[in-house]
A and B are shown apart, each in its own frame.
Chain A
Amino acid sequence: MQIKSSGITDVGLKREGNEDAFSVEDALGLYIVADGMGGHLAGEIASRIAVDVINKAFRKWSVQDVGEHEIFGSPDTSLSLKGNYILGGIRLANRIIYELALEKKDFHGMGTTMAILLVTPSLVIAANVGDSRIYLVRDGEIERLSRDHSVVAEQVELGMMTEEEAESSPLRHVLTRNLGSSEDVVPDIFEIEPNNNDLFILCSDGLTDLVSDDELLSMSEEEPEPGRLCRRLVDEVLDRGAHDNTTVISVSLSDIVRSKGGFFQRLGYMLGDALFSIQKRARKIIR
């Protein structure tokens, strides 16, 4: 499998400091965007700690090939082993930020969002907490692999608000989950099969506030090379006023060699893909 990746963060035009943090680790196939919050440097510290803790925990567990019962917290048996590593890493980072925020006055109220993508030849894992997003561009369509944990996103899911209303709501930045605000955090974790030419975009809300999903799709089709795509997206945000810190990571896959899966495994994937498309249609009809 060939991976090409790139990441950019930009303070933007209105903010003084950059509370976003990100990491691009091709060797691990691990990509992280975190958008910190909290006064006087606390936001920067929260996002930096989150990225660092998860990277280190994931690397350590992978190298030592620990079992899923040795991660932080009880494992989720419906997830793969690597999915559990990510889950454990998020919990560990959450606990550390939570305890620091509780104990040190300067850190009171700090927290961070988190968008994590893990890419392996057989499995792609997308995990998120908060409103930093993960997109998949595949076969000319764009799909969110993350779920926004914000007040408005939940309203939209409940059908109490339209996407358009959500975008202009004054509550659109109010999160319902983040790392650091409670002792335990529950991330959303999606595991999917990678395809050749898959393109992933991880980003903080600095990008998605100003660039719509459709625009993301058309720009990524015009500029599929990750380095240039990231630059293009950040430039676009800057052109539009960049009121917030903006971070973009782009990852593209090619030359995926399927692991020796049996007939039934392949059949399962096919069924999965078929259902994927039917579900999408179903959701469009429901809306």
Chain B
Amino acid sequence: MTDKKIQLSVIAAGLLVLVIFACLAVFSVSLAFIKAASITGSLASIIIIVLTAKGKKESPEENRMLGLSYQDQGLLDKAFEKYQDLPPDDDSRELIYSLGLEYENKDQLNDALKVYLYLARKGGFKDVKERVRRLKSSSRTTAASGLVGGNEATIMPNPGEKVRTRIGRYEILGVLGKGSMGLVYKAQDPKINRLVAIKTIRFSDEFDEDVVQEIKERFFREAEIAGQLSHPSIVTIHDVGEDEDLTYMAMEFLEGEDLDNFITRKSLLSFRRVLDVVVKVADALDYAHKANVIHRDIKPANVMLLKNGNVKVTDFGIAKAISSSRTKTGVILGTPNYMSPEQIMGQKIDARSDLFSLGVLFFQLITGELPFHGDNLSGLLYQITQIKHPSPRSYNPKIPQICEQILDKALAKDPVKRFKSAAEMSRVVNSLGQRIDQIRIQKSSIIVKGTE
């Protein structure tokens, strides 16, 4: 393309000889270069520059640029990191202050407070003191951090997950704990001034994108069915909804503890109390089964023991919504410890599957041990499906024989050999309790207890 140009240039410049000499000189140099250099690349013109400049450690100015870019990209925590490396002058304080304002705008009040506190420690800036005071007194920061305080490691939100002040129409008062799939909040319904517990699930974090929508729909469908259950031992569901990418379920707020707190040898409830709990759970299951709802995930964490002595079963139907869905990491959600053999084998399940799970829970509540163990998942699954559970009396000889028979029936591998219904199981366990009560009245000196 440049042949014409060469001629033009030669005529125009009148420097034919000079050009040729220059060309030849550089031509030979470039030939040598091409031969010598291992990588010559696509040389596009005489003013090609191939860069070889080497980077160096960041200067303050570079840190500032990095910080600004992070802030630009909304990565405020990274920006804060970079700004802290800057010399502590008014310029850097201004930058950090602007981060605080941005956190406040984004409603990440705990982060805003952290930034202002940093500035306050470094000698203060503008109205930082005032902002710290205001944020500290705000119920939204203190409630959350106060409740989180004691048990920080287990229930801190994931990094990057903002501490929310509102989910749907509910005002968050604090964090109650971490559920299997997300945080559980204590909140207030401003409409009717009622306290609620809000279970949150970030489906997008747990499942592959392509199945999220499907699971969500199933979740809402199941929640709707479960929401129609009304029983003294079943947690009432008030509402389900979505807020941004968070799916939530607003439930009756309960003061109490779940049974996870009573399943080790050192923390067992009294034997008589366990019978009560099992009867109440069985009654709740019987009610649900008659409404054609199978719980599918009976386990200690899903049974609450209230301060007033009542028992509440939570999470009806949720297991169905999320089961048989591949999660992101490919693991089974939750534990298979309480699953029935037919559930593990992927067979069609009915109400009797819940009775098996209740049997496992019963066993654990009186012995402090699980009936089925395994060094790994496949070992555990093998035990549940193939191996008979040990006698509970081998752990605690005080357990009456009749109780062992009840467990044998509940934990039968074949559903046909189990109790026919939750009502039947409830009746049998209840009669055992009543017999114990009678014996107590007759011989007040004999007390049958679990290992307390």
Contacts and interface: CB of A to CB of B under 8 A. Distances in A.
Given A57-B69, A140-B1, A190-B49, A184 B54 contact: yes
B66 A184 contact: no
A74 B9 CA distance: 37
A138 to B, nearest CB: 6
Interface in B26-58: 26-27, 30-31, 34, 38-56
Interface of B: 1-3, 5-6, 8-9, 12-13, 15, 19, 22-23, 26-27, 30-31, 34, 38-56, 61-62, 65-66, 69-70, 72-73, 75, 78
Contact of A188 (B6, B9, B51): B51
A174 interface: no
A283 B30 CA distance: 10
B30 A279 contact: yes
B66 A95 contact: yes
Nearest to A76: B53
A237 interface: no
Contacts of B6: 273-274, 277
Contacts of B53: 73-76, 87, 186
Interface string A265-276: 001001111111
Contact of B55 (A49, A140, A154, A184): A184
Interface in A150-200: 154, 157-158, 183-184, 186-193
Given A99-B66, A282-B27, 10 more contacts: A74-B53, A79-B49, A92-B66, A96-B73, A157-B40, A189-B49, A191-B48, A270-B9, A271-B46, A275-B45
Contacts of A183: 55
10 contacts: A76-B49, A96-B70, A126-B44, A154-B39, A183-B55, A270-B12, A273-B6, A274-B5, A275-B30, A277-B5
B41 A188 contact: yes
Interface of A: 49, 52-53, 56-57, 70, 72-76, 78-79, 83, 87, 91-93, 95-96, 99-100, 103, 126, 136, 138-141, 143-147, 154, 157-158, 183-184, 186-193, 267, 270-279, 282-283, 286
A218 to B, nearest CB: 16
A100 B75 contact: yes
A272 B46 contact: yes
Contacts of A72: 62, 65
Contact of A146 (B12, B26, B42, B56): B42
A78 B49 contact: yes
